[in-house]
Chains A and B, each alone.
Chain A
Amino acid sequence: MAAISRDEVAHLARLSRLAVTEQELDTFAGQLDVILQAVARVGEVTAADIPPTSHAVPLTNVLREDVVVDCLRRDDALAGAPDVAEDRFRVPRILDEEA
């Protein structure tokens, strides 16, 4: 019984914005199945009453004062951008044609 199906992999790829090829889907589905079966071992541990760790450091309340700090120059902010227009980051239409 596979831990993850090819369809599920395709769905996850879509969710993560990865336009995987059919060939990749084939390869990944098999590989991910193996990996998931291996990592599922964590389920063998009885841990109902154990608190999960979310931070490896025992710190709380790390805060910063509400004081202005220098910004980036706009040129630096836009420097790496693939497409700029009117000093803004330009992207193709967000909605699909049908909308």
Chain B
Amino acid sequence: MTTTTLPTYDDAVARYEPVIGLETHVELGTRTKMFCGCPTDFGGEPNTRVCPVCLGLPGSLPVANKAAIEATIRIGLALNCSIATWCRFARKNYFYPDMPKNFQISQYDEPLCVDGYLDVEVDGETVRIGIERVHLEEDTGKTLHVGGATGRIHGATESLVDYNRAGIPLVEIVTKPVPGTGALAPAVARAYVTELRDVIRGLGVSDVRMEEGSLRCDVNTSLNRPGEEWGTRTETKNVNSLRSVERAVRSEIIRQASVLDAGGRIVQETRHFSEETGDTSPGRSKETATDYRYFPEPDLVPLAPDPAWVAELKASLPEPPRVRRKRLQEAWGLSDLDMQSVVNAGAVELIEETVAAGATAAGARKWWLGELARRANESGVELAAVGATPAQVAELQRLVDDGKLNDKLARVVLEGVVAGEGSPTEVMSARGLAVVSDTSALTAAVDEAIAANPDIAAKVRDGKVAAAGALVGAVMKSTKGQADAKTVRELILSRLGAS
């Protein structure tokens, strides 16, 4: 038998039903670690942000970070979870050099938050993702593998461990299995992670940057034939971007379909996603699940969050991103598609602020999604870092609305603003870019154009109003564009008695 040809994605989802699940780890942005007062800032020379506690030195003891607990509860509340009235930390025991104690303080059968949900929009449909649990644990150190080809663990001859990251608070969010998404499974997975990220960012408890590791995602996938029980699931790790989330699910569906088509059996395993190929490869196979010998952490006392405090935290939650987007979409009068473009461009907040500074939604959207988005792409920066502030954009639009600038001139002014020359008004004055509003000067220019183009002028007099366009062009040219085209046209027409 020759190599199996993989089914196409469409073929795979036509014959099998995918069930997905996601496990996300969020590194909290607290000032200090979960169980000690070491600082958590990014970077730093190796092993300079450690103490007896996070190094797990003999005799050291953990003390829980209040801010981390508060952040976790807020995440749970934002995900519509119930908050435990009493729960404990637990030890997860296993040996690995990035774990100083060779156990991780985590939570086992008593997570801080349970049984919530997050609604996401995919293809115009709302999908409710059940949240199984949200719990708190400590992060591990970082291991550098040396001697292997790719810096990966395979083939390494030795490893070097830095414990700066060990002990940073980590929130683990586990979804319930999500069946019934069919062909949209990859998109749903991506939409979930995107929305989750936005919710958490909105709470201000983490940077949630996948590329920096403050948001880590593992994706679970299984397939079953319609009407049958759910299949064996695989777990895919090393999913480091939103795009990878989608690709990983897609690739795993195809792979599993191919295995099942050939009569094979899906092995319960952890797989590794490759950014380059878009495929998953087997990790270390674990046919039998590791027994972590969980037991309640004796060095930490139980958590019993005060219900009044939890209620307060719930009442002060920010507006969920979805609700906010809907509200703004309505306020701005945008279609779903247009709003999606705004979201995709990362411009929701920017437009909101620009409108708050006095612009119309349409005007704000035009600049942010048009000229500024183009510049951001060219310079390879994020829209928010492009060099113009919402207030400046609002000011620019105001100048256009007031007739002081036309569209073309406004673009030039914007260039100057982005280059750091000052506010739109300042740039306009400094560069002398204002629309000429002095009527007599304009009239003179109009008369000049009429005189220079007698044939065209004659046509207009005869009623061919459209021909006036060429005269408008001539006036714009002679005024170096610093005239309002509409005004010029009106002037021409009135001059020629054709208005």
- Given a CB threshold of 8 Å, the question of whether A touches B is answered with yes
Contact between A60 and B97, CB atoms less than 8 A apart: no
Alpha-carbon separation in the docked complex, A78 to B164 (Å): 13
* CB 8 Å contact bits of A6-28 with B (1 = contact, 0 = none): 00000000010100000000000
A-B contact pairs, 26 of them (CB 8 A): A15-B291, A55-B298, A60-B301, A61-B301, A63-B64, A63-B66, A64-B63, A65-B67, A66-B68, A67-B31, A67-B37, A69-B38, A71-B39, A71-B49, A77-B50, A86-B46, A87-B47, A88-B46, A88-B47, A89-B161, A90-B158, A90-B160, A91-B160, A93-B159, A94-B97, A94-B153
Alpha-carbon separation in the docked complex, A74 to B39 (Å): 14
Contact between A64 and B37, CB atoms less than 8 A apart: yes
B interface residues, Cβ below 8 angstroms from A: 30-32, 36-39, 45-52, 55, 63-69, 86, 88, 95-97, 143-145, 147, 153-154, 156-163, 284, 291, 295-296, 298, 300-305
Given A54-B88, A87-B45; 15 other pairs, CB 8 A cutoff: A57-B301, A60-B86, A61-B303, A61-B304, A63-B64, A63-B66, A66-B67, A67-B32, A74-B48, A86-B160, A87-B162, A89-B97, A89-B161, A90-B158, A93-B159
Alpha-carbon separation in the docked complex, A89 to B161 (Å): 5
Alpha-carbon separation in the docked complex, A61 to B88 (Å): 10
For residue A59, CB closer than 8 A to chain B, the reply is yes
Chain A residues within 8 Å of B47, by CB: 74, 77-78, 87-89
Q: Nearest chain-B residue to A73 (Cβ)? A: B48
Interface size on A, residues (CB 8 A): 34
Within 8 Å by CB of A95, from B32, B68, B154, lies B154
Chain A residues within 8 Å of B68, by CB: 66
Contact between B36 and A95, CB atoms less than 8 A apart: no
Which of A57, A59, A87, A95 has most chain B Cβ within 10 Å? A95
Q: Nearest chain-A residue to B69 (Cβ)? A: A63
Q: How far is the CB of B60 from chain A (nearest CB, A)?
A: 11
7 smallest CB-CB distances across A and B, nearest first, come from A69-B37, A66-B67, A88-B160, A63-B66, A54-B296, A60-B304, A59-B301
Contact between B55 and A72, CB atoms less than 8 A apart: yes
Chain B residues within 8 Å of A1, by CB: none
Chain B residues within 8 Å of A77, by CB: 47-48, 50, 55, 163
Q: How far is the CB of A88 from chain B (nearest CB, A)?
A: 4
For residue A48, CB closer than 8 A to chain B, the reply is no
Q: Is the interface of A mostly helix, strand, loop or mixed?
A: loop
Which of B47, B49, B95 has most chain A Cβ within 10 Å? B47
Q: How far is the CB of A82 from chain B (nearest CB, A)?
A: 12
Alpha-carbon separation in the docked complex, A57 to B301 (Å): 8
Contact between A91 and B159, CB atoms less than 8 A apart: yes
Contact between A71 and B64, CB atoms less than 8 A apart: no
Q: Which of A36-74 contact B (CB under 8 A)?
A: 54-55, 57, 59-72, 74
Contact between A65 and B284, CB atoms less than 8 A apart: no
Alpha-carbon separation in the docked complex, A64 to B64 (Å): 6
Q: How far is the CB of A87 from chain B (nearest CB, A)?
A: 5
Alpha-carbon separation in the docked complex, A55 to B302 (Å): 9
Alpha-carbon separation in the docked complex, A90 to B38 (Å): 22
Q: Nearest chain-B residue to A55 (Cβ)? A: B301
Q: How far is the CB of B162 from chain A (nearest CB, A)?
A: 5
Within 8 Å by CB of B38, from A63, A65, A71, A74, lies A71
Q: How far is the CB of B59 from chain A (nearest CB, A)?
A: 13
Alpha-carbon separation in the docked complex, A85 to B158 (Å): 10
Q: Nearest chain-B residue to A86 (Cβ)? A: B160
Q: Nearest chain-B residue to A88 (Cβ)? A: B160
Q: Nearest chain-B residue to A60 (Cβ)? A: B304
Q: Nearest chain-A residue to B302 (Cβ)? A: A60
Chain A residues within 8 Å of B302, by CB: 55, 60-61
Alpha-carbon separation in the docked complex, A68 to B67 (Å): 12
Q: How far is the CB of A59 from chain B (nearest CB, A)?
A: 4
Known: A63-B63, A88-B46, A90-B160. A17 touches B95 (CB 8 A): yes
Alpha-carbon separation in the docked complex, A69 to B158 (Å): 33
Chain A residues within 8 Å of B163, by CB: 77, 89
